[in-house]
Amino acid sequence: MISEKNYELGSRSSIIREIFSFGQMRKAQVGADKVYDFSLGNPSIPAPDSVKRAILDLVETQKEEIHAYTAAAGDMGVRDTIAQSLNRRFDEEFTAANIFMTCGAAASLNICIHALANEGDEFIVFAPFFPEYRCWVEGVGAILRTVRPEAPGFQIDFEDFERQLSEKTKAVIVNSPNNPSGVVYSEETITRLGDMLREKSREYGKPIYLITDEPYREIVYDGCQVPFVTKYYRDTLVCYSYSKALSLPGERIGYIAVPKRVQDYERLMPAVAGSARVLGFVCAPSLFQQVVARCVEDTGDINAYKRNRDLLYQGLTRLGYTCIMPQGAFYLFVQAMEEDAAAFCERAKKYDLLLVPSDDFGCPGYVRIAYCVAEETIVNAMPAFEKLAKEYGK
């Protein structure tokens, strides 16, 4: 009687949430310090002080309009501030008109997908990929095609990518720095991606859009530079969220940025607005629009994540685990010590180690370890990781 499709989506709770719930139960049983929960991508470092100062100042001194509806695309001053910041940092030419404020990355992505998709269109993603992509693409009646993982470096398997491209391809979604691998696409990868998309767009006589999902853009280490994709490929829609870099995941605030030179721009921006409307997003939260404008180039203390990464990477490789050293985000993507990653995670649970199997990311045989946790969680978890490795003869 009710919507079968949405019932399925809601009842098949995500594996990540399931593990998290198990963790909550175990913490109540044995104590929080005895459970090593690496399941969730919830930033562990606090929002920078500037966020707190911005909220206090806005609420104490500003007019009541801080809680009023903004235009559907967001407050003009906020959009202008963000445009200017992007121009400064990435040599772009955005104005407020190119920025559409959203309720975070999920909203940004889903709005872009809805703005582009017609029945039967195909969207391509690269494994490993964020599982919600499937939900949004299929939700609008389009088809998700996945490109096989390019292990162990997790750049792009261009051979398989070329096989997946066709006249039906409406858009390609990239997520770099990547969840779950932590990998940052190199300039070489992005250049080659742009070249192939240009070639195929020409061949098919229609644009293939590139959607970038980049909430982790500022969370990079070792001086790593994340290529700003609009500079490498014209028909790019940028999806951003302040969830990770400003540690505001619950506040649902982000944006879509579309350069004016993008093909069919004059029709695309109204389609973005129409998609936000049909999905039920009236405007992005008004107070936090102002907050992010005041903190537009701030981040939390990214160094804390770097320390966690180094500690975890060194500890695990010393114990015989295999993984690459990621340059961004806050995930380590480690090979499971048996073929079935889910079975490996079940075994890890015996030691109260909560890891996420990689199957839902379209890349079997790995586990995602979210190291956005307190440093002592990593230190204290090492004996458990050691016992787990021993079970596999390491």
Residues 286-315 that bind a second copy (CB under 8 A): 286-289
Q: Which is nearer to a second copy, 240 or 366 (CB)?
A: 240
Q: Which is nearer to a second copy, 150 or 235 (CB)?
A: 235
Q: Which is nearer to a second copy, 282 or 343 (CB)?
A: 282
Please identify which residue in 251, 296, 361, 366 interacts with a second copy, judged by CB under 8 A. Answer: 251
Q: Which is nearer to a second copy, 150 or 251 (CB)?
A: 251
* Token duo for residue 35: 């459970």
The stretch among 6-14, 79-87, 192-200, 335-343 that binds a second copy (CB under 8 A) is 6-14
Q: At 291, which helix (H) or strand (E)?
A: helix 286-294
Contacts of 222 (CB under 8 A, 6+ apart): 306, 327
Binding of a second copy at residue 52 (CB under 8 A)? yes
Binding of a second copy at residue 223 (CB under 8 A)? no
DSSP string, 119-186: TT-EEEEESS--THHHHHHHHTT-EEEEEPP-TTTTS--HHHHHHH--TTEEEEEE-SS-TTT-----
Could you give the 3-state DSSP secondary structure of residue 264?
coil
* Token duo for residue 59: 């609420």
Binding of a second copy at residue 42 (CB under 8 A)? yes
Binding of a second copy at residue 272 (CB under 8 A)? yes
In single-letter form, the type of residue at position 221 comes to: Y
Binding of a second copy at residue 48 (CB under 8 A)? no
Quote the least distance from Cβ 320 to a second copy, whole Å: 33
Distance set, CA 387 to CA 349, 381, 383, 393 (Å): 12, 10, 6, 10
Quote the least distance from Cβ 115 to a second copy, whole Å: 6
# binding residues, a second copy (CB under 8 A): 76
Q: Which is nearer to a second copy, 128 or 215 (CB)?
A: 215
Please identify which residue in 187, 264, 297, 346 interacts with a second copy, judged by CB under 8 A. Answer: 264
Please identify which residue in 36, 136, 161, 240 interacts with a second copy, judged by CB under 8 A. Answer: 136
The stretch among 183-191, 248-256, 301-309, 344-352 that binds a second copy (CB under 8 A) is 248-256
Distance set, CA 76 to CA 79, 167, 173, 276, 343 (Å): 5, 38, 28, 17, 51
Q: Which is nearer to a second copy, 308 or 327 (CB)?
A: 308
The stretch among 36-44, 79-87, 153-161, 337-345 that binds a second copy (CB under 8 A) is 36-44
Contact 247, 47 (CB under 8 A): yes
| Binding residues for a second copy restricted to 61-120, rule: CB under 8 A | 64, 66-70, 103-104, 106-107, 109-111, 114-118
Q: Which residue has the tokens 């605030």?
A: 253
Quote the least distance from Cβ 107 to a second copy, whole Å: 5
Strand partners for 257? 99, 238
Could you give the 3-state DSSP secondary structure of residue 281?
coil
Half-sphere exposure for 60 (CA within 13 Å, toward CB): 6
Binding of a second copy at residue 250 (CB under 8 A)? yes
The 8-class DSSP code of residue 366 comes to: E
| Binding residues for a second copy restricted to 151-170, rule: CB under 8 A | none
Binding of a second copy at residue 131 (CB under 8 A)? no
The stretch among 160-168, 270-278, 339-347, 352-360 that binds a second copy (CB under 8 A) is 270-278
The 8-class DSSP code of residue 232 comes to: T
